[in-house]
Amino acid sequence: MITAWAERPGARTFVHGQARAVAAPGLSRRDRLAVSGPPADAAQVVRTALAELGPTYRPIGTASLIAALVDAIPSLELITEFGWMWTSTPVSRFGGGWLAPSSFSEVSGLLNAHFPDSYAQPGVPGVARWAGSRSAEGTLAAVAADAWSSERIGFVAGVATDPAYRGRGHAAAACALIINDLLRDHEAVALIVDGWNTAAVALYHRLGMRYEAVAAARVK
């Protein structure tokens, strides 16, 4: 799944044995190297790719594979572990709506207040559009973005909710709109979530998404 996400314009593929590494520059605001395959082959393909691409590329893959790569390649260090969640099934939930550019200042305000570390922001390259859900009074309660989607995999990012409106289904409505729309043209829809964020993981499980532990490394 992760390597499919990285198959975007400008991506390059490296192969060694049964392993593959797909290099995607500027993917989710970082140079990514999505890796899959047996650890020994993967270590060799990562060495080759990094020697050619340079140290800005960050290997990403299943948590067990990245741990093996860090052990095998002394120049790598683990950055973090997180969750890759995905679904290929439409959501039987409705609500939310696509936001016009005139609402992007509201999106920025919500993100700055409640999710300032979000890679997805209005105007960032690769962030295609925003969905949102409003309160009965018209306040923007939750947002989510269609961002960095590939030909095969639609990707959701920038999911944030105003704490005053949590527990009312606003984030679920915004995410469901994006998932259902992206599944019309993509094999699956995915997102990344911090494993410690149990509330977010539970939300995405309710939307029918599966969880896989993944990790990222970088050159020291």
Q: Tens of pLDDT along 58-108?
A: 999 999 999 999 999 999 999 999 999 999 999 987 788 999 999 999 999
Q: Tens of pLDDT along 32-52?
A: 999 999 999 999 999 999 999
What local confidence, expressed as pLDDT, does residue 5 receive?
64
Q: Is the pLDDT of residue 27 over 90?
A: no
Residue range 89-186 in CATH 3.40.630.30? yes
> Average pLDDT of 156-167?
96
Q: Is the pLDDT of residue 57 over 80?
A: yes
**In this structure, which amino acid lies at residue 131?**
A
**Bigger pLDDT: 199 or 29?**
199
Q: Is the pLDDT of residue 175 over 90?
A: yes
Using CA atoms, how far apart are residues 63 and 215, in angstroms rounded to an integer?
5
The residue extents of the domains of the chain are: 2-83, 89-186
Using CA atoms, how far apart are residues 195 and 24, in angstroms rounded to an integer?
24
Q: Tens of pLDDT along 121-136?
A: 999 999 999 999 999 9
Using CA atoms, how far apart are residues 113 and 162, in angstroms rounded to an integer?
8
What local confidence, expressed as pLDDT, does residue 30 receive?
85
- Backbone angles phi and psi of 55, in degrees to 5: -80, -5
What pairs with residue 97 in β-bridges?
Answer: 132
What token pair was written down for 181? 């729309």
